[in-house]
Homo-oligomer: A and B are copies of this chain.
Amino acid sequence: MSRKIRYGMVGGGRGAFIGGVHRIAAAIDQQIELVCGAFSSDPQKSKDSGADFFLPANRCYGSYEEMIKSEAALPEGDRMDFIAIVTPNHVHFPPAKMALEHGFHVLSDKPATFDLSEAKELGALVEKTGLLYGLTHNYTGYPLVKQAREMVLSGALGKIRKVVVEYPQGWLATRIEESGQKQASWRTDPTKSGAAGCVGDIGTHAENLAEYITGLKISELAADLSTFVEGRQLDDDANILLRFDNGAKGVLHCSQISVGEENNLNIRVYGEKGGIEWHQKEPNTMLVKSLDQPMQVYRTANGYLGAAAAAAARTPPSHPEGYLEGFANIYKNFANTIRARLEDREPTAIENDYPKIEDGIRGMAFIEAVVASSKGNAAWTKVG
């Protein structure tokens, strides 16, 4: 099939953060093309934003509704293949739903929706339409995260006993949402962010990472949420005990008031025979531990890695793969799965490896369980 996969973007106008990340992620491999966008609810700003990427004005829309309708009216050879949703959480579900209803695949930023019921509705719609839905839990795109998953699922660590997963940040240690910092404002606003603050924003990444790598499900949890910054409406710190469906135990803690921490997502998994440790801030290193041999240092792009990790790397060892490449792997696999469909073939296992609506539903169930548990003074609460 001799063309790029085409997408339209919802959100991501000038001054936004994650929209730019998505556009880079889509562009890196030169197999995906931005063809239109509803970058802003201000039509002029949407056009200006599109012009930054040389889009024609007539495909820079003032709303996602307009974009979806207009694109649907274009000939098949011209119109977008999927939409990328990069808006705040409360505007994830509506465009996703409408896009699916108009025959477009959807790639959405996380969390999938504003609440669990929306996520379930979306799940039903994905099933009904048969269209593709991807979710940018981007950390699962790192080569060594894929290696970790492959090793755990292959049994190399033995039965999993313990998982420690953390996502500390420090950027909300003071009340910067009062200063007009846009990213802080909507994330701390329950009408835009949802029932949880820190847990929705980054706790879901930690939850998704743990379930992706281990192949296990968190069956129940006991959560202690805190709001340390006075006047803030949502949690900015969470300490959570985990129990997994195979009997493993664990701890998940995330925070936006851990002064000096950047985006320090990290995970340790221990089985009966071995353990792994991975830190996002140095994502090309994974420690592999064993009962009685020296710890090993796995590094991205080496020959000893498995197929999934190999396919996820673009450069030689110690030419670091970064956040954008990991993010791009979600885009690459999602677009390749669309391409497979356009070529009327089954996607390969590697192509089909991207977070889906099921992950989105898990994430929303996790958020709801955490909030409920914390309201019950860290009562054990089932997830989903």
Name which of A70-78, A184-192, A260-268, A339-347 contacts chain B. Answer: A260-268
A164 touches B253 (CB 8 A): yes
Name which of A26-34, A39-47, A121-129 contacts chain B. Answer: A26-34
A257 touches B294 (CB 8 A): no
A271 to B258, CA, bound (A): 8
Interface residue? A170 (CB, 8 A): yes
List B contacts of A4 (CB < 8 A).
54
- Give this chain's copy count: 4
A295 touches B27 (CB 8 A): no
Interface residue? A320 (CB, 8 A): yes
A166 to B170, CA, bound (A): 20
Most central of A30, A271, A302, A377 by chain B CB within 10 Å:
A30
B161 touches A272 (CB 8 A): no
A281 touches B320 (CB 8 A): yes
A254 to chain B, nearest CB (A): 11
Contact pick for A291, options B54, B170, B251, B321, CB 8 Å:
B170
Name which of A16-24, A82-90, A107-115 contacts chain B. Answer: A16-24
List B contacts of A24 (CB < 8 A).
28-30, 314
Residues facing B in A237-266 (CB within 8 A) are 237, 239, 241-243, 249-251, 253, 255, 257-264
Find the B residue at minimum CB distance from A161. Answer: B228
A125 to chain B, nearest CB (A): 31
What mask results when residues 273 to 294 of chain A are scored 1 for a CB within 8 Å of chain B, else 0?
Answer: 1110000111110011111111
A257 touches B296 (CB 8 A): no
Interface residue? A51 (CB, 8 A): yes
Find the B residue at minimum CB distance from A315. Answer: B323
Interface residue? A306 (CB, 8 A): no
A378 to B377, CA, bound (A): 11
A378 to chain B, nearest CB (A): 5
Interface residue? A324 (CB, 8 A): yes
Interface residue? A233 (CB, 8 A): no
B280 touches A318 (CB 8 A): yes
A170 to B323, CA, bound (A): 26
A297 touches B296 (CB 8 A): yes
A54 to B3, CA, bound (A): 6
A239 touches B228 (CB 8 A): no
List B contacts of A320 (CB < 8 A).
280-283, 320, 322-323
A181 to chain B, nearest CB (A): 12
A214 to B370, CA, bound (A): 28
Given contacts A263-B316, A295-B260, A315-B324, contact A241 B255 (CB under 8 A): no
Contact pick for A259, options B30, B255, B291, B298, CB 8 Å:
B291
Residues facing B in A168-187 (CB within 8 A) are 170, 173-174
B226 touches A249 (CB 8 A): yes
A329 to chain B, nearest CB (A): 12
Chain A interfacial positions (CB closer than 8 Å to B): 2-4, 17, 20-21, 23-24, 27-30, 34, 51, 53-54, 157, 161-162, 164, 166, 170, 173-174, 222, 224, 226, 228, 237, 239, 241-243, 249-251, 253, 255, 257-264, 268, 270-275, 280-284, 287-299, 302-304, 314-325, 377-378, 380
A sample of 10 inter-chain contacts (CB < 8 A) reads A17-B316, A27-B28, A30-B53, A259-B290, A260-B289, A261-B289, A280-B320, A292-B303, A295-B296, A321-B324
